[in-house]
Every structure is written in structure tokens, then in C-alpha cells.
Amino acid sequence: MNCIIIDDETAARAIVAQLCSKIKDLDVIQEFDNAIEAIKFLNQQEIDLVFLDIHMPGFTGIDFVQTLKNSPKIVMTTSDTEFAIASYEYEAIVDYLVKPITPERFHKCLQKVKSSLDTAPKRDSEPNAKSGISQDLYINIDRRLIKLKYDEILLIEAKGDYINIKTETKDYTVHTTLKKIHSKLPTDLFLQIHRSFIINFTKIIDIEDNSVLIEKSVVPISRSNRPELMRRLNLL
Amino acid sequence: MSEAPNLKYLDKLAGDDIEFRQKFIDILKEEFPDEQEEYNNNVGNMNYREASENVHKIKHKLNILGLDESHSLAVRYEFELRNGANSLAEQFQAILKNVENYLNTI
């Protein structure tokens, strides 16, 4: 069984890691001091168990649980018992440990986790658009993860170290590269037509020689990307 | 507050793992002064909401050091700060000093 630990307090992470080290078949894969980094990690790697602090500034443990779609088992850790009831509203949450966590209580918790994993149906390991699980993308704006549905996105423009995501209702500026976001988008919907532009292929209104009209935006087509665009069109 | 901090919890957690014991003490010695400073700045600037977050973190360390009464006061103080008051500031400051002095001895 593998796990990650999320807590903004170094001492708290060290305690959980030490308790884990005493369990024979439990490996701590990584520790995180904030939930957003952990979500990025969970998008890349399958994990059996998350030890999650509820009370973290900005993006809390409960925000984290609500954000995950295909969640691993979660054990909440906190100094406050007041959050206990709220935490049990979520199916993925197996147990609730009050700090400072004792070895005895930790062992009991692990028993619960193991029984829970034994009885749980296997999680989908490869979420994708076709399975209907991932039809959207989360972007990080001011330490909050905002969900954008793929079909809301019109186009994405590179702006130096940032990208501008234009949707039907709003524009979002995100600190990342066009290359990085391109790798996260489904290729059947999105196409790079210029060094600085990715478009939602289904949102094209019309195409002129060197540009595409998407809603009210005119987007240039580079010479090198034009053949792929033409290949994808259902031309009469 | 006459409580004396202790390392009973850490000793139980570490068992015979001397390396972890020392590593954890180092973490406390490194993390606590930062939290203390941040708390003092926030209280000094009347940023009570942020100060309550600092108290939240610090109160875990009070538990770790076996300071049960201090922890109870910190729970009340965190709640108070969240509601924009700081009547327990002086008592909490004494707790911080108690911990600071103790960490200098271990």
C-alpha cells in the first residue's frame, strides 16, 4: 500500500511519516505542504491512501476532498474535533485522526483502511474524456482550483510566462506554458494552429486564408500548422 | 502557566529511533521560532484572522510537548482571534516564552 501526506506543518508530516515507517507494507511516496501540489501529483500517479490535514490556509482539506473525482482512501488529520462530522460526509474518508496522533490510534486507523481497501471496488486508473470521467480541466488561480469544462473553452493564447484561457463567459490568466496545457487537453477537441494559439476545434465559425474566427476572436494560422488544420476539417 | 514541557510523546513515538528523535527536535527548533515570529507580527498588525492560523499550528506543538493546559488556552485563544478579539494575548505570550525557553534547553 502506498500513501502521501499533506500537511502545512513540517512537524505534523514528520509524525505521520514516522508512524507509517513502522508499518511493514505501507510506503510514503511523497509529502506535500499544500493540497494543490498534491492534486497535481495525484493527476499523475495512483495512490492508495492520503493522510490529509483539514486545516490548511487557502485550500483546505475539505476543498481537496471536494475537488477529487476519483479519490484514493483518505484519512483526515486535525487538531480540531469540530471538523469530524463534516469529514464523514465523504465516502472516500475512512478515518479521522486527532493530533497528536498516538501509535495505538494509528494502528487502528490502518486496520480500518485495509478493510476498506479490501472491500472497495477498484478505482479507474486512467480517467479520460471518452470514459466520461474527465471532461474538464482544473486551473490554479490564487491558490484555488477552478474547474473549466472542455466545451466551455474557446481558445488559449500564450502571453509570455502566462496563458490566457478564453471561455464563453470569462477569461482566465494562468501561470503556465502553452505546451503544458496542450498536453492536458484532449487532442480530438483542441488543436494548436499557431505558436501562440490553441483553439477548440469545435468552436470554429469560419476560416479565411490565414485566420480562424472563433466567437468574436480572429486567430492567426501559422504556415506550419495549417496542413493539420486542413486535414482535420470535414471538407466538402 | 506553571506547566513544564516534556518529550514524553516524542519518546513514545520515536521508541529506540534516536535519529528520528533528534530530527524531530530539530524540526521543532526550526519551525517554532518562525511560527512565533509570524504570530507576533500578525498580532502586532492586528491581523487577528492570520494570527489565529498561527495559533492553530502552534497549539499542535503544545500538545506534542505535553502542555495540556496551554493547549486548552490556545484552543480558546484561536477561537477568540477568529472572532476579532485578543484578550488572551498576554497569557498566550507567556506560553510562547515557556516553549521558547524549553526548546533552548533540548
C-alpha cell at B97: 516564552
Structural domain ending residue among the three candidates A119, A153, A169: A119
CB neighbour burial string for A93-105, b if at least 16 within 10 angstroms, e if fewer: bbbbbebbbeeee
Pair A10, A62 in one domain: yes
Residue-level pLDDT, tens digit, chain B, 106 residues: 579 999 999 999 999 999 999 999 999 999 999 999 999 999 999 999 999 999 999 999 999 999 999 999 999 999 999 999 999 999 999 999 999 999 999 9
What is the number of domains present in chain B? 1
Instruction: Let me know how long chain A is.
Output: 236
Pair A51, A97 in one domain: yes
Pair A110, A144 in one domain: no
* Shortest CA gap A99–chain B (Å): 7
Alpha helices per DSSP H over B1-106 = 8-14, 18-44, 48-64, 68-82, 89-103
pLDDT for the residue A134? 62
Of A14, A79, A100, the CB nearest to B27: A14
Opening angle at CA A25, ends A23 and A31, nearest 5: 75
The mean pLDDT value for A92-99 works out to: 90
The mean pLDDT value for A53-74 works out to: 81
Pair A59, A165 in one domain: no
pLDDT for the residue A128? 42
Task: Report the CATH number that the domain containing residue A162 is assigned in CATH.
Answer: 2.40.50.1020
Query: Which DSSP helix (H) or strand (E) runs through A15?
Result: helix A10-21
Pair A106, A140 in one domain: no
pLDDT for the residue A132? 42
pLDDT for the residue B93? 97
Domain-located, residue A200: yes
Q: Residue B59: give the domain boundaries.
A: 8-103
Pair A161, A222 in one domain: yes
What is the number of domains present in chain A? 2
CB neighbour burial string for A5-25, b if at least 16 within 10 angstroms, e if fewer: bbbbbbbbbbbbbbbbeeeee
The mean pLDDT value for A45-73 works out to: 84
Task: Report the CATH number that the domain containing residue A78 is assigned in CATH.
Answer: 3.40.50.2300
ipTM over 0.85: yes
Pair A107, A140 in one domain: no
| Integer Cα distance of A18 and A199 in angstroms | 48
Of B24, B31, B59, the CB nearest to A79: B59
Pair A101, A145 in one domain: no
Pair A179, A217 in one domain: yes
Domain-located, residue A126: no
Pair A144, A107 in one domain: no
Domain-located, residue A131: no
Domain-located, residue B3: no
For an interface test with B, the pick among A15, A53, A104 (most B C-beta atoms closer than 10 Å) comes out as A15
Partners of B53 on chain A (C-beta within 8 Å) are 57
Q: Residue A149: give the domain boundaries.
A: 136-232
**Is B60–A11 a contact, with Cβ atoms under 8 angstroms apart?**
yes
Residue A131: pLDDT above 50? no
**Prediction pTM value:** 0.67
Of B14, B27, B64, the CB nearest to A100: B64
Domain-located, residue B61: yes
Partners of A106 on chain B (C-beta within 8 Å) are none
Domain-located, residue A95: yes
Partners of B12 on chain A (C-beta within 8 Å) are 102-103
